[in-house]
Copies of this chain bind each other. A is one copy, B any other.
Amino acid sequence: MTIVTSVRKMQAYSERVRGRGKTISFVPTMGYLHDGHFRLLKEGRKRGDVLIMSIFVNPTQFGPKEDYAQYPRDMRRDLGYARRAGVDVVFAPTVDGMYPDGFQTSITVAEVTKTLCGPFRPGHFQGVATVVAKLFNIVKPHVALFGEKDFQQLVVIRRMVRDLDMGIEIIGVPTVREKDGLAMSSRNKYLNGEERRAALCLYRSLMKAKKLVRSGERDSKRILREVHSIIKAEPLAKIEYVSLVDKETMKEVKKIDKKTLLAMAVWIGSTRLIDNFCLP
């Protein structure tokens, strides 16, 4: 396994790989890997001759009051994970390498960022779209894989790739959960014992919604009411949003159909968790 930190060297490497007619699959991460990433890497391993993973905690996608400084980092552990997953190259650039003096370009995906996390994290998806475009131009993948846990992010990337004709296949990989249902996330590390138990209310509420829809309920308001009441019963939880949206346009829907996504952001103490479920 090779570790590359230089943008130029990564670009030259990928250019050579493509020149030999080989395909590149790519898993961009912010490190502190968990089994959700492992699943992405396993999928990626199948889909390209060369598997590249990036580790980069991207400052531009964090708001000024968000957890950029505290975001968990553990390069040694991540490299072990990558090796076991069969990664060929880890690309781990520096912040200065990615954003040299004078940097001033950003990519905006306008419509699909208007709901869910968009309004609560101004600039977040702009930061995500811009860094992913950079990573794509550096790593030059044929295929890139993203977790469905960050469903809106996946939609933003897909839209950007299509709109800018990037010619990269984007694959969404299902959320991996702990045994009790909590969606895996590097941010779960922030939770203490009590909060860890409280965090289950997200999954419980998603399951309840699923059950309602399976039993025939199609009215968004009634489903949202049930979801809200489950989360509100948990004293440590504070809802940021719970929404039912079309899973392509990210627009809110009044009636559930087969393209509906239930998505939520909930604070557990000082940790912000997101989760979602495709309904029905």
Contact = CB atoms under 8 A, between A and B. Distances in A.
Contacts of A134: 163-165
Contact of A110 (B19, B105, B109, B163): B105
A104 B109 CA distance: 6
A163 to B, nearest CB: 4
A111 interface: yes
Contacts of A21: 19
Interface string A235-274: 0000000000000010000000000000000000000000
Contacts of A165: 7, 11, 134, 137-138
A165 B137 CA distance: 6
A108 B165 CA distance: 17
A183 interface: no
A105 B159 contact: yes
A90 to B, nearest CB: 18
A206 B159 CA distance: 45
Given A137-B165, A164-B134, A108 B110 contact: no
A137 B105 contact: no
B103 A163 contact: yes
B167 A11 contact: yes
A5 to B, nearest CB: 14
Contacts of A130: 164
Interface in A115-165: 129-130, 133-134, 137-138, 159-160, 163-165
Given A133-B164, A166-B137, A167-B11, A159 B108 contact: no
Nearest to A10: B165
A68 to B, nearest CB: 20
A112 interface: yes
Interface string A1-40: 0000001000100010011010000000000000000000
A137 to B, nearest CB: 4
B104 A105 contact: no
Contacts of A19: 19, 21
Nearest to A167: B11
Given A15-B167, A102-B249, A104-B163, 17 more contacts: A7-B165, A18-B18, A102-B111, A104-B109, A104-B110, A104-B111, A104-B159, A105-B107, A105-B109, A105-B110, A105-B160, A107-B107, A107-B108, A108-B108, A134-B164, A137-B165, A137-B166
9 contacts: A19-B19, A102-B111, A104-B109, A105-B109, A105-B159, A106-B108, A107-B107, A108-B108, A134-B165
